[in-house]
Amino acid sequence: MNRIEQRFKELKDQDRKAFIPYIMGGDGGLNNLTERLLTLEKFGATLIEVGVPFSDPVADGPTIQQAGIRALQNGTTLRGIIAELTKAREVVSIPIVLMTYLNPVYSYGISAFAQDIANAGVAGCIIPDLPIEEEELLAAILEDAGIELIRLVTLTSPKDRIKEISNRGKGFLYTVTVKGITGTRNEFDQEVVDFLKRVKDISPIPVVAGFGISNVKQINELTPHCDGVIVGSKIVDLFHNNDLAGLESFMSVLKPEKTPLK
């Protein structure tokens, strides 16, 4: 069983929901990556999504784009992130999922990428600009290396496509809750709730909602209809402002002494 599958099994046994924070690798300096991973683990993250800065981040909103620019200005590269994750695996116990675009992977070399991130202890990979029609480029290579390819569905995905995509995965299904890029939203409408219900009915694997989620109210609105949430821009902002107290408070809903999200 993949480490991601194991984590979701543990949550199901505990009647809890997943909280997956996103951080941009190299934002604040690569030398701080391990410390940030440990902080998120301490505050209750289920697993952590680590972004790779890219010059043309088509799925990223302003906050994460700015984080990527800061990381690139710090000299961050995919190879550098993998090297730091290799060090981090000695002290970070929860699964790491790497989020990158296809171009850096292709430039790195697909087979070398798969082997190197496996050696770094990475459990999964998200490539938002890789459609299922093009998966043959690397899906089998990642699988052979023990890396789970995390696939995405969106509000515009028809039922048959949701079924096809969800049946290919084993980790979780990244369910995009906005029509557009990442970034905080004030509220979600009934369309999003209906969408999550529809995906949950179809998917044989855990359904995790992402994009636009930035407060506990939204989390409590969405989690009855899915298996957890991914939070990016809010986490990036809290780290950028060095607001660790705010980060801990935001994630405290996941503490064992708190009532589990339902």
Q: Catalytic residues, which ones?
A: 49, 60
Torsion (CA) 62, 66, 71, 72 in degrees, nearest 10: 100
Secondary structure class of 60 (helix, strand, coil): coil
Question: Both tokens of residue 67?
Answer: 């984080």
Alpha-carbon distance 119 to 104, whole Å?
18
Where b means 16+ CB within 10 Å and e means fewer, 23-54 reads: bbbbbbebebbbebbebbbebbbbbbbbbbbb
Question: Both tokens of residue 144?
Answer: 């052979």
Q: Which of 88, 95, 86, 97 is nearest to 128 (CA)?
A: 97
Q: ∠ CA(132), CA(52), CA(129), 5° rounding?
A: 20
Torsion (CA) 132, 185, 215, 194 in degrees, nearest 10: -60
Alpha-carbon distance 211 to 20, whole Å?
12
How many residues are present in the chain? 262
Question: Both tokens of residue 133?
Answer: 């029609």
